[in-house]
Amino acid sequence: MLHKHVFRFAARHRQRAALFLSCLCVLAFSLSMPLKTGAESSGQASGTAGQDDAGTALTGLTAVEAPAAFDCKSAVLMEASTGKLLYEQNPTEAMPPASVTKIMTLLLVMEAIDAGVLHWDDMVTTSAHAASMGGSQIYLKEGEQMSVRDMVKSVVIASANDAALALAEAVAGSEETFVNRMNQRASELDMENTHFENTNGLDDTATNHVTSARDIAIMSRTLIAHKEILEYSSTWMDTVRDGAFGLTNTNRLVRFYRGCNGLKTGSTAKAGFCISVTAEREGMTLICVIMGAENRDIRNQAAAALLDWGFANYGLYTCPEGEPDPLRVTGGVVPQVRVSYPSFSCVLPRADLSAVEMNLTLPESVPAPVRVGETVGSLSFTCRGEPLGEVCVTASEASDKISFGGILLRLLARFLLV
């Protein structure tokens, strides 16, 4: 009798175990299938600001009245971090830039330093050709050696033509090769109205050494990404040759305009008086280009007035990078992943800075596998109904797709713990 009861008890538990395993297999199979989701993904981050590239105010945003035309041949105002053009007066006409040319010379030197072709403490030997340069100079003699650092300082602060050419020869071997690289770099930056013939802007014998105000703003923006340049261009006075030779900044706005930290002046009989000036206030950096003014005072007054107009009427809206709540992953080895979005900036009329709205678009879950950097959503920005741009929300960590055996083991572990 006892034997029969034991047999019936074992039979009942075998049936229950078989039923449980059958249910377990069905559940594991269903969990291993990908889940369709309505997740929306966005493209790359795009930034539109208060005006389009032609200077037309976007519908819905506060209109900004443009200033009267300035007493110069051309003028441009650009916000540095976004490249947004805020004001243009004859922006694309090609004309001689004088020593503002050296912005491109300095850019190639800085890129050579970044690439390890030059080093700040390298000693550069002055050639006879470099020593023969006239105009603004530090009176380098043939065979004289000076560090890259002091030569860069001399070009930035005192607009030294001889140091500019010596650096160019150190980078490329000859002025001709360096000038070819200048034009190549201009093409890469989409400087459509630019052609260089020398490294320093001397134009007595030049026939087609020209650029435009817009192109100068473009190369200025690229140059000031090298923060060492701003250290020198914001310096009013310094020295080289162990203090024996003084340098005074050719850009008087560095001393007299609040927030000015650069960048380059120039003047010749052909070019008139030109400047690319940078200034920073309240986290926004503006680049102002003036070309073809009659004299230095008119040039500086125009630059200061255009900068004043820009700072008074525009501001930089910035949303810092962030992390929304973790996103659930279905069918993944990791049940949820961290997600993040990059910072976003755009230029807006000051009256609209407080009216920006953000819209985060994320699905409730995403199916495995999820890879690091994979787009899972978007964060869009609007102001008074006008789209400003959006950034992608991406996965900060991965979650592989769980296998059938993995799900089975996970469910079995839960069952045994109950």
Nearest-angstrom CA–CA distance, 386 and 405: 51
Q: Are strands 336-337 and 339-340 parallel, antiparallel or unpaired?
A: unpaired
The active-site residue out of 42, 74, 99, 233 is: 99
Distance (Å, rounded) from C-alpha 379 to C-alpha 344?
Answer: 10
From the CB of residue 68, how many other CB atoms can be counted at a distance below 10 Å?
A: 8
Of the candidates 159, 233, 345, 365, the residue annotated as catalytic is 159
Contact of 339 with 396, CB cutoff 8 Å: yes
Q: For strand 46-47 and strand 260-268, is the pairing parallel, antiparallel, or unpaired?
A: unpaired
SS (H, E, C) 225-247: CCHHHHHHHCCCEEEECCCCEEE
Main-chain dihedrals φ then ψ at residue 234, nearest 5 degrees: -95, 0
In b/e form, how buried is each residue of 335-365, taking b as 16+ CB within 10 angstroms?
ebbebebeebbbbbbeebbebbeeeeebbeb
159 is catalytic: yes
**CB-based burial, 164-201: b 16+ in 10 Å, e otherwise:** bbbbbbbbbeebeebbebbeebbeebebebbbbbbbbb
Rounded CA separation 147/149 (Å): 5
Give the H or E element holding residue 220.
helix 213-223
Q: Which of 73, 84, 102, 153 is catalytic?
A: 102
Reply yes or no on whether 32 is catalytic: no
99 is catalytic: yes
Cα–Cα distance list, 97 to 88, 202, 276 (Å): 17, 9, 10
Residue at token pair 């003047």: 267
Hey, which residues are catalytic here?
A: 99, 102, 159
